[in-house]
Amino acid sequence: MKHLFYLLTIFPILWEFINLNSPKKCYNFSKSLKGEKYNNFSSTQKTFSIYMIGYLLWVFIGLFSCQWILFLLILILSFIPIKYIWMQFINSLISIFVLLFILINEYHLHFNLYTFIFHNLIR
């Protein structure tokens, strides 16, 4: 089950690469979703809306893992209001790095972030 969860990391990484590749389109897309009912969406908007809800659910499930701090960081990034296109680009870049670190840390580094942050830095 763990391998399936981390295999699903590919989809958020792809989403963030799409955001990174064309931040203006994604910015305009997210603005077009505000204030509309789901029934009025086009098929593309419905597909991406379901994809974004799946991404958010995946992050919430990740909060119960040992890397909950990184998933919390992604969740915090998703609640930052994006007013400019360059903010969309920076948000996607940070998210890609965090998602890649989640994958690398789970299978190779085994770095315990909780111990590092709360036992070493706060002391």
> DSSP letter string over 22-45?
-HHHHHHHHHHHTT--GGGS-HHH
pLDDT at 85: 87
| Structure confidence by residue, pLDDT tens digits, 40-94 | 888 888 888 888 899 999 999 999 998 999 999 999 999 998 888 899 899 999 9
Arithmetic mean of pLDDT over the chain = 88
* Percent of the chain surpassing pLDDT 70: 98
**H-run or E-run covering 18:** helix 10-21
Spell out the residues 6+ positions from residue 44 whose beta carbon is closer than 8 angstroms to its own.
Answer: none
Task: Show me where the domains of the chain are located.
Answer: 2-121
